[in-house]
Chains A and B, each alone.
Chain A
Amino acid sequence: MRQLPWLSLLIFWPLVAACCLPLSRGDATACRRFALLAALGELALAGLIAVLFAGPQPDLPVIEDLAWIPSLGIRYSLSLDGLSLIFVVLTALIGVCCMVASRHDDAKRPALYYALILAALSTVQGIFLASDLFLFALFWEAQLIPVFFLIGIFGHGDRMRVAIKFFLFSATGGLLMFLAVIALGILAANGPTGPTFALTDLTHAAVPVTVGRWLFAAFVLSFAIKIPLVPVHMWLPDAHTEAPTAGSLILAGLLLKTGGYALIRFALPLFPEAAHTFAPLLTALGIIGLFYASAVALAQEDVKRLIAYSSIGHMGLAVAAIVSGSRLALGGAVVLMVSHALTSGGLFSLAGMIGERLGSRRFEILGGLWNKAPRFGAAFLFCILASAALPGLSGFVGEAMIVFGLFKTHIWVGVLAVAGMAVTLVYLLRLARDTLFGPARSPLPFADLNARETALLCALAVCILLLGLFPGPVLSLAAGPLDSIAGLVWPAATPGL
């Protein structure tokens, strides 16, 4: 049972399903059903792997390793440890959410729509599983293509320009990282292992200090664009505004997380020295992002744009935590990222529902939804509160860990982070006030959640609650890999939680 190529299955199952979709010949119902089944299959697969390998008899990491381009030392090597497992399950979960998120966006070409979502899932799984740098770079670039088409074909408004903008931003970083990967491979080729791109070998490669800093900068630029950190975040609000709901779910729930994940998994252990050097800069950018994004979010007139800016703020906090040097904050960052994927997924779905029902998501026509659609209002408020880190919900666990960790290492950063979270509350409460409460500013009717939407939000709410109340399993899963990474980068730091 454990011998099957589970990891390849995780990556290629959605891709195969995507290739089968055109067989439905444009029959929307068949497409939806098949795509949902495929996504559920992926979730089941991820769950099965979790039970098999992280259950009663843990056997992590799971490794698959095949020669791919032997003359260049490139291997098809996947590895799944606790950290990857968290994100793999998250990806499968968000994939299911994408399939039921909207019945409006897929009207144009259902087969293509679901095929693109499945392809995006497949490439994101590849990023979370790859342990060969070349393979990682390949998936990193490849993930852009389905999302590009998803935004460009199924988006709203000026979708083509936005799709190209998204692609160019990400590709710039991606290509520079690609160059850095090549350089790293060349540096390591003189070492004892010969030409190699394996992460474990490259971690121990002797890289000169200056070169290491340049390479780290190239890696981090690529990840920062995807996260996004503040000076290179411009693509995100546009992309979210024009993207279809599923596109927003994938962007906020998965693509942003690939940036944070890659920062932890690749940038830190590969260049510990450079990570120390750049940590103040990254911390500053993250904290600036937190305040800046909050200020800009407060001024937004579009619900989805506001949520997009809130993503920038939350991810900025996560970056500050990741590079802080505190093991506690590092774990908190992982929890925060997972929690953010869930809450922003819920918020983006709800924003998409507003757009579908009213044809616009501007605050000037909203207000009073709590009375018009009580179930919708409850779900919206729940997601807002989770995003605002109400104790008992998922956001709280991550933010509390981050704050404790930051206070231990850099007290001023901790103070600023707490202040930033307080600012976050302002725009989240404004979001709640202007959509849910107050007088209705438009006479348009607003249908309440139907069964499909209720199921989607209930599933997300259950996950948020579980993560908020019982974060233990997630933390213990991530503990092993995070300990080893923290031990590599900050040998002096206190181990454990």
Chain B
Amino acid sequence: MPPTAEFTPLLAPFSPWEPGALPLVVFGAIVLVVMAVILFLSGFLVRRRPTPSKQQPYECGIRPTGPARFRYPVPFFLMAVFFLLFDVETAYIISYAVAWPELGLPGYLRLAVFVIVLGLGLVYAWRKGGLDWDEEEGL
């Protein structure tokens, strides 16, 4: 679409042959080639002599124990998620408050619905034990 008076596309047509883009293309090509060479050589040159200790997963030198799939409580993580949720909601409410004069009563009602639903969510999380710190069987 040709640029019109009221709207101009944000991006100029992108061409790999324009001076601005050429280094990027060359750089990308070099990266790919170097990566391919390194991967190929490391597979081609190396002679594999596997031993049990070599085949262990690398855990910074510590001997791995137990299965990798187990559950452990992360209550702090849960708190962080709740905080994030309610933190984002304040951003909404503040931006609404700034526009208070224009929005009037309909805007108020809409935000009220939003806050009520949010409150219900908090009640639900509470009842389900999401706010209990030491419970492993929380949410």
Direct contact of A and B (CB under 8 A): no
